[in-house]
Amino acid sequence: MVKKSEDELSETFDRCLTDTALKTVSAGTIGLIAAAIFKRQFPLWLGVGMGFGMGIANCRHDMRKSFIHSEQDSAQKSSLKMIEESGNAEVQPQFDFRNLLTRAFMDEKRVDCLDLLAFQDMLSKLRQIDDKILFELNTALPSESFSVNVDKGEKCRSIYKKLLTMKVKRMNLIQHCIDENQANIARLRKEKLAPLGDIRNAQNTLRAIRSEMDVESIVNERSEKAVHDRCRTFL
């Protein structure tokens, strides 16, 4: 039985709370021992803060993965349902890949990698193009009976090439922003008067961007599976 996306998100949230509590208590216990040894309170608060921070970071990562799963499942199911109900394989979505790619490239060049929200917004736009490509695949090859007049081999190769192009662009964006944030952290550390809060914020931004590598592997895996299910005999 397939679980509803709301149930999956609820379970993920429960795991987040449990994991955060365990990390906070564990790190706090270590901090308490250190505080007793050094007879200072700061190790206790440092341990609690580190445990809580690690828990929140893991929670954010898990929630993002769960959200992507539920969002992509809903999008694919709705598109397939619409195609099957229409029974018309000749209808093609209005999807200008070159135009979208050009616009994405221009937007990507203007992305401020030190701005986490700007980076995430750009990455989301690139992933949305993946959704459009998969929708194009589902529309062109909804089933064997509906795709008799379609050059399946050519369509599959075209779709696969587009997905590969977007995969490379997203990975390049993530790596570029990782490099920029690493350079920014190194610069801040060299500045003697740089506020500690600025360094921590930069480190948190770098950590969040690195976590997108894991999300990206999930996105790529699901896209490749969708293509394989439709095109395994043509690739």
How does pLDDT run across 9-65, given as a tens digit for each residue?
677 777 777 887 887 888 778 878 887 888 888 777 887 788 787 777 777 766 666
Rounded Cα distance between 214 and 211, Å, is: 6
Q: Which amino acid is at 167?
A: K
Q: Please tell me which residue, 66 or 103, carries the higher pLDDT value.
A: 103
Separation of CA 160 from chain center: 20
Torsional class of 11: left (φ above 0), alpha (ψ -120 to 50), beta (otherwise)? alpha
Q: Give the model's pLDDT for residue 78.
A: 53
Q: Give the model's pLDDT for residue 181.
A: 94
Pair 234, 161: CB distance under 8 Å: no
Tell which residue, 186, 206, 193, 215, has the closest CA to residue 115: 206
Q: Is the pLDDT of residue 165 over 70?
A: yes
Dihedral sign, CA of 88, 89, 90, 96? positive
Rounded Cα distance between 205 and 208, Å, is: 5
Domain boundaries, the chain: 7-76, 97-232
Rounded Cα distance between 213 and 171, Å, is: 8
Q: Is the pLDDT of residue 93 over 50?
A: no
Q: Is the pLDDT of residue 122 over 50?
A: yes
Torsion of CA 105, 107, 112, 117, to 10 degrees: -120
Following DSSP, what letter does each residue of 39-56 receive, concatenated?
Answer: T-SHHHHHHHHHHHHHHH
Q: Is the pLDDT of residue 145 over 70?
A: no
Give the mean pLDDT of 210-221: 90
Q: DSSP code of 150?
A: S
Dihedral sign, CA of 7, 13, 15, 18? negative
Q: What is residue 93's three-state secondary structure?
A: coil
